[in-house]
Amino acid sequence: MRIMIAGGAGYVGSHTTRLLAEAGHETWVYDNLSRGHQGAVLPGQLIRGELEDRPLLESVLREKRIEAVMHFAAFIEVGESVVDPARYYQNNLVATLSLLEAMRSVGVQRLVFSSTAATYGEPETIPIPEDTPQKPINPYGFTKLVVEHALADYAAAYNLGYAALRYFNASGASPSGQIGEDHRPESHLIPLVLQVALGQRKEIRIFGDDFPTPDGTCIRDYVHVNDIGQAHILALSRLEPGVQLKYNLGVGQGFSVRQVIDACRTVTGHPIPAVVTPRRDGDAPVLIADSTKVREELHWVPQFDQLEATVETAWRWHRSHPHGYADA
Ligand code: UFG
């Protein structure tokens, strides 16, 4: 299939693009490089542009005869979304509406959309099935939820076929070691812990150890970025005009912040000093996916179901690219 990947220079987008290309799809990356990296894109693939640039976007969709779009282009920092919500509504919502309109005017009727566990807020049921009420607690989560609603309305009214994939904690890197995670500034746990192992940070801060969990630290479901990418390919194969798919992407196992740090100690052999600091605003105590639906309906089987194996791939990337894409 001929696929345009919006945000294909970012973390999950770049990994998914490689997997799509390996699976025989024709891919083009559409990215403004505001957060993504040219080094994450295969040579000759990058079309640099804004999603709000309707003429450019429509000409790409038309000239490349695009049959499906994958949309990864978004800002993802919860804290930043609280401080500067306007950027999030503009980038994650307004730009997405522009993409949807460009697709509608050209007649592209298949979309896979990156949604998030953050749309659930602080759910009462753990693990979290897809029919859990979505009550986001920050602007980031709201922007993603509003897009999900827009997609449902576009499907009903205009026959758009879409999959909204709600990621839990995307982690790890391509086993090839060629691409990986590089956020500026970095805020995610595993890369920050590995920066301690690289000697770039003195210690890792644990944001609170007074949560209602066995060791007092937050529990998350760490799902390998390539497994997320494979789920996109499976979802794409089920998309027809008007079809609506919604799936959680998580392994279904939770690990505490302390357990993640321990896994990183095992993988790196570094003692990784840790200090406990106050909680970070907006952190839910426990987020674990119930991923039964995607496993049953799409036959998705995460290949990385052991945290240490996921951390190993991340470590391979960070060790060979200690400054991320600046080393690529
Ligand atoms: N944490 C620390 N110390 C750090 C960084 C993180 O203790 O230096 C903790 C956090 O408090 C949290 C856990 O590690 O409990 C995981 O934090 P991340 O920032 O890696 O991931 P989040 O669960 O906060 O965020 C994930 C995605 C985000 C997305 C969010 C939505 O990585 O992109 O889910 O829920 F926005």
Q: Is 187 in the pocket of ligand 1 (CB under 6 A)?
A: yes
- 3-class DSSP state of 102: helix
| Burial environment of residue 133 by CB neighbours within 10 A (0 to 12, 13 to 18, 19 or more) | exposed
Tokens of 322: 């200690």
Nearest to 30, CA basis, from 19, 22, 54: 54
14-71 tens-digit pLDDT: 999 999 999 999 999 999 999 999 999 999 999 999 999 999 999 999 999 999 999 9
Ligand 1 atom nearest 168 alpha carbon: 34
| Burial environment of residue 240 by CB neighbours within 10 A (0 to 12, 13 to 18, 19 or more) | exposed
205-227 tens-digit pLDDT: 999 999 999 999 999 999 999 99
What average pLDDT does range 280-298 have in this prediction? Answer: 95
Catalytic residue among 140, 154, 162, 222: 140
Distance 139 CA to ligand 1 centre (A): 16
CATH number of 189-220+252-320: 3.90.25.10
Nearest to 164, CA basis, from 100, 82, 222: 100
Could you tell me the pTM of the whole model? Answer: 0.98
Ligand 1 atom nearest 193 alpha carbon: 8
Tokens of 128: 């979290």
Kindly list the domain boundaries of the chain, sorted by start residue: 2-171+222-249, 189-220+252-320
CATH fold match for the domains 2-171+222-249 and 189-220+252-320: no
Give me the pLDDT at residue 26, please.
97
**Quick check: bond before 322 cis, omega within 30?**
no
| Residue minimizing CA distance to atom 15 of ligand 1 | 218
Strand pairing partners for 244? 162
Instruction: Please say if the pLDDT value at position 327 is more than 80.
Output: no
Q: Is 38 in the pocket of ligand 1 (CB under 6 A)?
A: no
User: What percentage of the chain's residues is helix, strand, coil (to nearest 5)?
Assistant: 40, 20, 40
Distance 175 CA to ligand 1 centre (A): 23
| Statement: 2-171+222-249 belongs to CATH 3.40.50.720 | yes
Nearest to 170, CA basis, from 230, 110, 89: 230
Other CB atoms within a 10 A radius of the CB of residue 250 amount to: 28
For 151, 221, 263, 302, the CA distances from 251, given in Å and listed in that order, are 25, 6, 16, 7
Nearest to 252, CA basis, from 227, 282, 280: 227
145-155 tens-digit pLDDT: 999 999 999 99
